[in-house]
């Protein structure tokens, strides 16, 4: 027989306890540590003219992509095509400005997000209806999307001078000391986090990832939700593509190359379980922040070029091992809790 | 007891429902009438079509023919969501919960109470869950994840789900299979209170005492068809068994007299923390030892440890008087041990390979000449066993996966018999096999014992254990809790040893 074993704690204390134990807190501490170390070794890392702005600006695009990726991973799927989607939408953005001078910036944003959504829909439809693992489907579309991009771009490329100054300004402007791009990423983050936590459609994503068969038995609309997750991931990558054009000014056919792996890495570092059902977009966003900040800090700390990628690898494997250990400990604790209350 | 409800509109009615999968007819003519305020038992052997019937009710399968009425109205569910929306809740033998999510979320997933902007009202959700648990007289921490909960607690969560849904029809598919005595009592009192609230319940069980204890009406199924429905008070266990089996029990279990020889397998003090503790027993040549107990009592684990597939920390295994090294299945095979596993489709057979290859799988080394396996030698060897075991297949090069369950089991048996074993361990030898083939498998085991093979038979089907075994061992929660000679082994004694919850002083 089970009897209540929970000792009543004050809700504020309980909340505080959760916050301290949360994965997100650990990542945040790691970020602070990396930034502090880099700044001590080279004060210009944070205190130069652009230091603080770059610190926030660099990870902003990957954060948006990682948020979309996290949502897909939570449903026990994966989206390898996001890097190619970033490339396509970035090039679309530049092309639109070249072809239609004077086009309102809002229209370009809508077009980029819409293209991303369509590409995501293709992924989602193939995964949801063809019942082929997402890893295989999106591996295929990753190459297809990149191929289309290369065929479309050729040896051409978009230059900063092709785009209006007001658009490029988005890439560098700040409001109250915060870069506009970072604020945009934050808006996406806060909304996505709220949606995943508080709406049925958000919670069902966790349920589907936790046990797809059970989700079917519950009568959840699994197909529709998975489809939606891929559309969201595509749209996020589409938005990131538009922002890419604004931030870097030059867009060639390899824009966003390799971002899919960085986005997955960010999500995993941030505590999103690769088998679905667990994790938050906060974690994924912080993971992206940590990943890119470490990349920038390593040369300053004095780590050899050759080792920088290895450090990222260690970070990812470390995160997964940590997850594994934590999950096993939690499982044992939960079993023990049941045993002692029998 | 409800007896005057037969005239009222049934809560749910299935009549002459048909369902087939390709060429296999799972349900020939399934019928079931449920009334409000009643607990209806649905019994039948494995493969009788109960689960298919339940899945049609749940909306997982769509029927091919027949009628399905809910409160007098024709329905046809395409999805589980539809059957839920119509007030039907199904609790499966293995509860299906989301391990990463909290108990509360599991109860309300897909239909959480929402407030402004569609925001989930967590406080309301939690309050309702707490209220339901109070009403059921159980206390489970609503905020903990469901990971790590016992099957019994998981079933309570399933029931809480049904209540929060305000289900008027509740189907429980073998809910007691993995429960201890106390947990069964708790489940039954909950079921009775739900009945008293006017809901219609279906209870599927293999345990007759539970059926008599809990239910008021019983429907018997056999070979995919409805056999009879009657008030529980007007029937006896013998009647039910006869209807379920369709033949006499002695015919089902053709136990042949065998000469019991010397000790072949001796297991002493086998312990693997958390799985089984201090398990000791012996099996003699020509003897069939039944290993009974509930699902999850650790029987298969012991068998796998003896064979060397799973580890054990303490204890010894002797075969023919000499110790057997632990963790080495090849050594076990060389010493004459054979293990026919529980899950023949996944562990016993290579489904994509033909019958021939499967039968010769364990004797490849012996068949090889100059390191190569010759097809002709393989066929020759396989043909012998296929004909001795009467495997019914058009050709021996048929893919094993396409055979019926009974014939697959014969192929697995053939594979191990080809190794000429001294000790044969069979885990649930007749699970999911139709009644006729079951008797054949039993006859075969009996003949093998007669030839002097020592047989350890794990089975969850009590009649099988009682009908076949010379000696019955009972396990509960990883320990041996009873040993009975054939004459002493009554259903009551074995069940008590398998389920009794009080720990003897030790």
Q: Which chain B residues touch A206 with a CB distance below 8 Å? A: 98, 100-101
A330 in contact with B, Cβ within 8 Å: yes
Tabulate helix, strand, coil % of chain A (nearest 5): 75, 0, 20
Q: How far is A215 from chain B (nearest CA, A)?
A: 8
Task: With CB atoms and an 8 Å threshold, state whether A207 touches B150.
Answer: no
Task: With CB atoms and an 8 Å threshold, state whether A217 touches B92.
Answer: yes
Of residues B249, B247, B181, B245, the one with CA closest to residue B209: B181
Round to whole Å and give the CA distance between A309 and A321.
18
C-alpha distances (whole Å) from A133 to each of A120, A130, A228, B455 are 15, 9, 16, 44
Q: Is A259 exposed, middle or buried (0-12, 13-18, 19+ CB in 10 A)?
A: buried
What is the per-residue pLDDT across B451-460, written as a single tens digit (0 to 9) for each?
Answer: 889 999 998 8
pLDDT at B127: 92
Q: Do B151 and B35 fall within a single domain?
A: yes
Q: Do A143 and A204 fall within a single domain?
A: yes
Round to whole Å and give the CA distance between A335 and B149.
7
Min mean pLDDT across A220-234, B63-77, B307-321, B487-501 is at B487-501
pLDDT at A9: 54
3-state secondary structure of B116: helix
Q: How many CA atoms lie within 13 A of A30 on its CB side?
A: 19
Q: Is residue A1 part of a domain?
A: no
Residue B337 pairs in a beta bridge with: B423
For residue B7, what pLDDT band results from cuts at 50, 70 and 90?
Answer: low
pTM beyond 0.80, yes or no: no
Round to whole Å and give the CA distance between B261 and B284.
6
Nearest residue on chain A to B138, alpha-carbon basis? A2
Q: Do A190 and A313 fall within a single domain?
A: no
Q: Is residue B257 part of a domain?
A: yes
3-state secondary structure of B457: strand
- Would you tell me how many other CB atoms lie within 10 Å of the CB of residue B131? 13
Nearest residue on chain B to A210, alpha-carbon basis? B98
| Strand residues in B300-342 grouped as ranges (E) | 314-319, 322-323, 337-340
Of the two residues A77 and B476, the one the predictor is more confident about is A77
Q: Is A302 exposed, middle or buried (0-12, 13-18, 19+ CB in 10 A)?
A: exposed
Q: Do A58 and A195 fall within a single domain?
A: yes
For residue A11, what pLDDT band results from cuts at 50, 70 and 90?
Answer: low
3-state secondary structure B58-88: HCCCCCCEEEEEECCEECCCCCHHHHHHCCE
C-alpha distances (whole Å) from A65 to each of A69, A106, A224, B453 are 6, 20, 21, 64
Show which of B215, B246, B277 is a domain's final residue. B246
Round to whole Å and give the CA distance between A254 and B293.
63
Q: Do A164 and A309 fall within a single domain?
A: no
Q: Is residue A173 part of a domain?
A: yes
Q: Do B230 and B378 fall within a single domain?
A: no
Q: Which chain A residues touch B79 with a CB distance below 8 Å? A: 219
Say if CB A313 and CB A51 are below 8 A apart.
no
Round to whole Å and give the CA distance between B185 and B179.
10
pLDDT at B2: 43
Which CATH number belongs to the domain containing residue A143 in this structure? 1.10.3470
What is the per-residue pLDDT across B387-408, written as a single tens digit (0 to 9) for each?
Answer: 777 777 667 777 777 777 777 8
DSSP B299: H
Give the domain extent around A338.
Answer: 305-342
Q: Do A242 and A340 fall within a single domain?
A: no
Give the domain extent around B388.
Answer: 350-420
Which CATH number belongs to the domain containing residue B155 in this structure? 3.40.50.300
Q: Is residue A13 part of a domain?
A: no
Q: Is residue B354 part of a domain?
A: yes
pLDDT at A1: 39
B120 in contact with A, Cβ within 8 Å: yes
For residue B365, what pLDDT band results from cuts at 50, 70 and 90?
Answer: confident
What is the per-residue pLDDT across B224-270, written as a single tens digit (0 to 9) for each?
Answer: 889 999 999 998 877 887 787 665 555 667 777 888 889 999 999 99
Say if CB B456 and CB B267 are below 8 A apart.
no
Closest CB to A200 among B120, B139, B143:
B120
Task: With CB atoms and an 8 Å threshold, state whether B98 touches A337.
Answer: no
Q: Do B92 and B20 fall within a single domain?
A: yes
Q: How many independent structural domains does chain B possess?
A: 3
Q: Mean pLDDT in chain B?
A: 84
């Amino acid at each position: 027989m089970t009897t209540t074993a929970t000792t009543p704690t004050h809700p504020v204390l309980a909340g505080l306890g959760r916050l301290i134990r949360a994965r997100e807190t650990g990542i945040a501490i790691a970020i602070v540590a990396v930034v502090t170390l880099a700044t001590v070794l080279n004060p210009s890392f944070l205190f130069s003219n652009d230091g603080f702005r770059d610190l926030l600006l660099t990870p902003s695009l990957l954060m948006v992509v990682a948020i979309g990726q996290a949502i897909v991973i939570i449903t026990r799927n994966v989206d390898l095509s996001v890097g190619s989607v970033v490339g396509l939408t970035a090039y679309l953005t530049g092309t639109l400005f070249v072809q239609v001078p004077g086009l309102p910036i809002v229209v370009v944003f809508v077009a980029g997000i819409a293209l991303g959504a369509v590409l995501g829909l293709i992924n989602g439809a193939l995964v949801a209806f063809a019942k082929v693992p997402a890893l295989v489907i999106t591996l295929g579309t990753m190459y297809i999307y990149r191929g289309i991009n290369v065929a479309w771009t050729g040896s051409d490329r978009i230059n900063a001078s092709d785009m209006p100054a007001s658009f490029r300004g988005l890439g560098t402007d700040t409001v109250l000391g915060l870069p506009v791009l970072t604020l945009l990423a934050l808006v996406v983050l806060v909304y996505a986090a709220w949606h995943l936590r508080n709406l049925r459609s958000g919670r069902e994503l966790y349920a589907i990832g936790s046990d797809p068969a059970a989700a079917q038995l519950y009568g959840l609309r699994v197909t529709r939700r998975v489809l939606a997750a891929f559309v969201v991931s595509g749209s996020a990558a589409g938005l990131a593509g538009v922002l890419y054009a604004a931030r870097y000014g030059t867009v060639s056919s390899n824009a966003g190359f390799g971002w899919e792996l960085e986005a997955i890495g960010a999500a995993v570092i941030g505590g999103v379980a690769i088998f679905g059902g667990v994790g938050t977009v906060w974690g994924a966003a912080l993971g992206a922040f940590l990943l890119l900040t470490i990349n920038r800090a390593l040369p300053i700390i004095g780590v050899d070029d050759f080792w920088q990628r290895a450090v990222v690898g260690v970070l990812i494997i470390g995160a997964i091992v940590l997850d594994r250990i934590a999950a096993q400990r939690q499982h044992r604790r939960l079993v023990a809790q049941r045993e002692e209350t029998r | 007891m409800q007896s005057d409800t037969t005239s009222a509109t049934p809560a749910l009615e299935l009549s002459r429902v048909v369902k087939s999968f390709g060429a296999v007819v799972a349900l020939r003519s399934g019928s079931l009438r449920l009334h409000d305020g009643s607990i209806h038992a649905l019994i039948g052997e494995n493969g009788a079509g109960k689960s298919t019937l339940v899945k049609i009710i749940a909306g997982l399968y769509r029927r091919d023919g027949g009628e399905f009425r809910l409160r007098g109205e024709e329905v046809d569910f395409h999805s589980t969501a539809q059957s839920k929306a119509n007030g039907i809740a199904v609790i499966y033998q293995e509860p299906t919960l989301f391990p990463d999510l909290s108990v509360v979320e599991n109860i309300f997933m897909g239909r959480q109470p929402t407030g402004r902007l569609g925001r989930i009202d967590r406080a309301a959700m939690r309050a309702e869950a707490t209220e339901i648990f109070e009403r059921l007289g159980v206390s489970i921490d609503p905020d903990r994840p469901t990971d790590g909960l016992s099957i019994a607690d998981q079933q309570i969560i399933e029931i809480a789900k049904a209540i929060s849904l305000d289900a008027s029809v509740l189907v429980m598919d073998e809910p007691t299979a993995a429960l201890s005595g106390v947990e069964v009592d708790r489940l039954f009192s909950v079921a009775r209170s739900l009945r008293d609230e006017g809901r219609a319940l279906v209870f599927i069980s293999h345990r007759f005492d539970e059926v008599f204890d809990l239910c008021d009406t019983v429907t018997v199924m056999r070979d995919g068809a409805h056999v009879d429905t009657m008030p529980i008070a007007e029937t006896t266990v013998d009647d039910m068994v006869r209807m379920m089996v369709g033949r006499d029990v002695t015919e089902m279990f053709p136990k042949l007299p065998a000469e019991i020889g010397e000790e072949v397998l001796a297991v002493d003090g086998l312990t693997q923390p958390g799985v089984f503790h201090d398990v000791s027993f012996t099996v003699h040549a020509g003897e069939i030892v039944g290993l009974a107990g509930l699902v999850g009592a650790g029987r298969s684990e012991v068998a796998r440890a003896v064979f060397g597939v799973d580890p054990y920390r303490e204890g010894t295994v002797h075969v023919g008087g000499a110790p057997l090294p632990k963790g080495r299945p090849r050594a076990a095979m060389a010493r004459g041990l054979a293990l026919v596993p529980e899950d023949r489709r996944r562990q016993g057979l290579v489904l994509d390979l033909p019958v021939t290859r499967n039968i010769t799988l364990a004797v490849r080394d012996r068949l090889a000449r100059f390191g190569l396996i010759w097809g002709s030698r393989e066929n020759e060897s396989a043909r012998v066993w296929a004909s001795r075991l009467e495997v019914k297949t058009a050709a021996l090069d048929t893919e094993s996966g396409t055979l019926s369950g009974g014939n697959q089991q014969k192929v697995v048996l053939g594979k191990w018999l080809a190794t000429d074993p001294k000790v044969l361990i069979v885990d649930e030898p007749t699970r999911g096999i139709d009644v006729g083939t079951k008797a054949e498998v039993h006859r075969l085991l009996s003949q093998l014992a007669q030839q002097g093979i020592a047989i350890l038979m794990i089975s969850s089907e009590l009649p099988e254990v009682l009908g076949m075994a010379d000696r019955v061992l009972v396990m509960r929660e990883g320990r041996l809790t009873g040993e009975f000679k054939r004459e002493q082994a009554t259903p009551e004694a074995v069940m008590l040893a398998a389920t009794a919850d009080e720990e003897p002083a030790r």
